[in-house]
Amino acid sequence: MSNVPDKLFYTKEHEWVLEISATKFRIGITDYAQAALGDIVYIQLPKEGSSVGANSVCGEVESTKSVSEIYAPITGTIIATNKKLDTNPEVINSDPYGDGWIAEIEISTPKLQESLLSAKEYQELTA
């Protein structure tokens, strides 16, 4: 069974969202997703300053098994990316909810309007 921290929100596409402040959120891919992908060898990070829409493609992850798109879980602007992943993408495999984060998104209104899943709902989806 994969690790599903209670403090995060999730998408059906296996991304997670952590609230940093009322308008800033950190995103990444879930433990379930990294396990399904296998050894991650490359990541195309979203572009800082770009606007992203919820459920739109904002990057991709390449593993020894396949290439998978990364979907923005919320609508906003990319304000930071995890540059460590440029040289060490495998960090996503070892620490998907910590050092393996992908980007930070800022939203214009301090309320998540997208339909995100709770940890319990995500666990039911992946069971």
Domain count, the chain: 1
The pLDDT confidence band at residue 113, using thresholds 50, 70 and 90, is low
Please answer whether residues 46 and 37 qualify as being in contact, where contact means their C-beta atoms are separated by less than 8 angstroms.
no
Q: What is the DSSP string of 3-21?
A: ---TT-EE-TTSEEEEESS
Q: What is the CATH number for 14?
A: 2.40.50.100
Please answer whether residues 107 and 25 qualify as being in contact, where contact means their C-beta atoms are separated by less than 8 angstroms.
yes
Alpha-carbon distance values, 46 to 11, 34, 77, 78, 86 (Å): 18, 18, 10, 7, 12
pTM above 0.85, yes or no: yes
Task: Answer yes or no: is 60 within a domain.
Answer: yes
The pLDDT confidence band at residue 114, using thresholds 50, 70 and 90, is low
- Structure confidence by residue, pLDDT tens digits, 9-36: 999 999 999 999 999 999 999 999 999 9
- Return the percent helix, strand and coil in the chain, to nearest 5: 20, 35, 50
The pLDDT confidence band at residue 1, using thresholds 50, 70 and 90, is low
Task: Answer yes or no: is 117 within a domain.
Answer: no
- Structure confidence by residue, pLDDT tens digits, 86-112: 999 999 999 999 999 999 999 987 777
pLDDT greater at residue 1 or residue 72: 72
Task: Answer yes or no: is 15 within a domain.
Answer: yes
Domain holding 62, by residue range, is: 9-108
Task: Answer yes or no: is 79 within a domain.
Answer: yes
